[in-house]
Amino acid sequence: MNKHGHHKLPKVIADEIAKDILEASDQEILEVSKDIYTDVDGEAEKIKALIMSAVLNSNKEKLKLAQKELQDRQLKNNQLGVLKLNIKTKKDVIKRAKDASSSLTLAARNNEAITDSDTDSYLMDLFELGVIDEDGNLKK
């Protein structure tokens, strides 16, 4: 703990001191730490907890980003013109896409498997695969 104010060192000096800390042996680091902290293990534990908390926060942030990405994707897909068509036209689009595309899997080609409630997610997949455009027209 600094008892006499804080003194930002000139960059070159701070760098050399930092390099010295990096290159010091583990034993020396522990010895020096004993001069600085009254409880070295406690200090190390405190910093470890800080590090783990930073990792946790970073993971939460990553999850939040993934969720936002998913929401954006859903929002984008919900704006597709093809999803505003009536159910018969939607099924026609799917049929045309299946007939035209050789890259779809056998399962995807199975007409019977697509129920009315599946059409939207199927159309979104076709759009994301680049088989149809946002209005349901086949892409070349």
Neighbours of 24 (CB within 10 A): 13
Examine residue 3 and tell whether it contacts another protein (CB under 8 A): yes
Site string (4-23) toward another protein, x via CB under 8 A: x-xxxxxxxxxxxxxxxxxx
Binders in 37-56 for another protein, by CB under 8 A? 40-41, 43-44, 47-48, 50-55
Say how far apart CA 134 and CA 138 lie, in whole Å.
10
Place of tokens 């783990």: 52
Residues 6+ apart with CB under 8 A from 34: 40
Please, which residue, 45 or 118, has the CB nearer to another protein? 45
Examine residue 29 and tell whether it contacts another protein (CB under 8 A): yes
> Residues 51-61, buried b or exposed e (16+ Cβ, 10 A)?
eeeeeeeeeee
Residues of the shown chain interacting with another protein in the complex, contacts defined by CB under 8 A: 1-4, 6-24, 26, 29-30, 32-33, 35-36, 40-41, 43-44, 47-48, 50-55, 57-59, 61-62
